[in-house]
Amino acid sequence: MKTFIAPAIIAAMVLGTVSSVSAMEIKSSDVHPMGYPTTEGIKYMGEKLSDWTNGRLSIKIFHSMQLGGEKEALEQVQIGALEMTRVSVGVVGPIVKEFDAFNLPYFFRDVEHMHKVTAGEIGQDLLNRLEGGGLIGLGYMDAGSRSFYNKVRPINKPADLNGLKIRVMQNPVFVELVNALGGNGIQVSFSELYTALQTGVVDGAENNPPTLYNHKHYEIANHYSLTHHLIVPEIFVFSKKVWDTMSPLDQQLIRKASALTVEVVRDLWAKKEAGDFANLKKVGVKINEVADKGPFIRATQVVRDNFAKKGDNFKKVISAVAAVK
C-alpha cells in the first residue's frame, strides 16, 4: 500500500525544519521478545521515524511482557499512559464488537483471504472504528493460524478435547469456541500462561508455531495438533489521547512508517513461521496432522451463528468478508 506524503512535508523533512517541532520518545509494548516479527517490525518503524526526523521521533520498545499482558497494555494506551502497543485482534473484540468477526473459528478461507480483507475496505473500516475506543489503528500484522497444544493427548476430533482445560485469550468468544468443541475454555492473560500450564491451571492452549516455540510452552505441553481453527491478525495501535496532541506532520509520518511496517512484518512472518515450525520438530514436539477438519468446522458453526445473530451490522461484516475473493 502506498501512503502519500505531501510535498511540503518532504521539503520540511529534507530541510530539517521538522526538528523544530517537539521531540518524542514513543513507548510501545509487546508480549513477544525482540527477534519476533512484531517487535522487529516496530523496531524498523522507530528507525524510519528517527531517520526522517533526525532522531526527533523515536520508539522505545517494551518487549517480552515487561508491561504485562495485552488487555492491560490496551488499557494503558486508551488512557494515554502508553503511546503504542501491538496486540492480537483477539483482545480487541471487546472494544469494537464487529472486530470479533476476525476471531471466529474457521472464518477466513486461508491466510491470503485474511490479507485481502485486512488490506481492503473492511480492514480499514474496523481500524477506524477503534477511535471510538480511544485508539488509533495503525495497521495489521500477520500471525498465521492457531492450533491446539496440550500436555495430555493429540487432538484428532472434537471429542478429544473433552475434559481438557484450554487457555484462551481474554475474550468470551474464544471460551465459546473451545466449549463448542467439548473442551473447557479458560481466559488467561498471555503473561500468566506459562505458569498456568506449569501449575495445571490449564492443560493446554492454542497458538501459532512461533508463539509456541518462542515462549517455550512446548516444554510443558508438547502435543501440537494442527486444527488451524483460527486465523487472527494482529494490530498495532496508538493512543488517541496522545495522537490528538501531535502535529498533523507527525501523525502523517507515523502513518507512513506504519504502512511500511505492515509490509516488512509480512515478510518477516513468513520466514519466522516456517523456521519455528521446523524448530518445534527439532525440539521433539509431537506434531499431529489433523486429517479431517470437518467435525471441527461443523461443531463450531454455533459460534459463527451466534455472532451473526447479534444484529445486521454483524451479518454485514460476515457477508462482506465472504465476498472478498
Measured from the Cβ of residue 37, the count of other Cβ atoms closer than 10 Å reads 23
> Which CB, 78 or 211, lies closer to ligand GTR?
211
Residue 90 interacting with ligand GTR (CB under 6 A): yes
Tell me whether residue 124 is exposed, middle or buried, using C-beta atoms within 10 angstroms of its C-beta: 0 to 12, 13 to 18, 19 or more: middle
**Which secondary-structure segment (H or E) carries 272?**
helix 248-282
**Distance from C-alpha of 168 to C-alpha of 150, rounded to nearest angstrom:** 12
Report the length, in residues, of the chain: 325
Pick from 13, 18, 31, 136 the residue near ligand GTR by CB under 6 A. Answer: 31
Q: Which stretch binds ligand GTR (CB under 6 A): 8-16, 84-92, 124-132, 292-300?
A: 84-92
**The C-alpha cell that represents 75 in the structure block:** 488499557
Contact window for ligand GTR (CB under 6 A) among 97-105, 207-215, 277-285, 294-302: 207-215
Sheet holding 165-168, edge to edge: 184-187, 165-168, 204-207, 146-150, 223-230, 286-289
Q: Residue count at the site for ligand GTR (CB under 6 A)?
A: 12
- Which among 76, 63, 69, 111 has a CA at the least distance from the CA of 90? 69
Single residue of 142, 203, 234, 276 touching ligand GTR by CB under 6 A = 234
Site for ligand GTR in 104-123 (CB under 6 A): none
Q: By CB under 6 A, is residue 190 in contact with ligand GTR? A: yes
Residue (31 or 321) nearer to ligand GTR, CB: 31
Rounded-to-10 torsion of CA 74, 78, 79, 81: 50
What 3-state class would DSSP assign to 114?
A: helix
Binding segment for ligand GTR (CB under 6 A), chosen from 94-102, 122-130, 203-211, 236-244, is 203-211
Instruction: Identify whether the C-beta of residue 210 lies closer than 8 Å to the C-beta of residue 234.
Output: no
- In the set 29, 103, 207, 239, which binds ligand GTR (CB under 6 A)? 207
* Residue closer to ligand GTR, measured from CB, 53 or 191: 191
Write out the three cell numbers for 314.
454483524
Q: How far is the CB of 316 from ligand GTR (least distance, A)?
A: 26
CB of 70 to ligand GTR, least distance (A): 6
Task: Enumerate residues 6+ apart whose C-beta is below 8 A from 323.
Answer: none
Q: Which stretch binds ligand GTR (CB under 6 A): 44-52, 77-85, 206-214, 271-279?
A: 206-214
Q: Please, which of residues 151-170 interact with ligand GTR by CB under 6 A?
A: 169
Q: How far is the CB of 210 from ligand GTR (least distance, A)?
A: 7
- Whether the Cβ atoms of residue 188 and residue 201 lie closer than 8 Å to each other: yes
Residues 50-69 that bind ligand GTR (CB under 6 A): none
Among 49, 82, 84, 87, binds ligand GTR (CB under 6 A): 87
Residues binding ligand GTR (CB under 6 A) = 31, 70, 87-88, 90, 143, 169, 190, 207-208, 211, 234
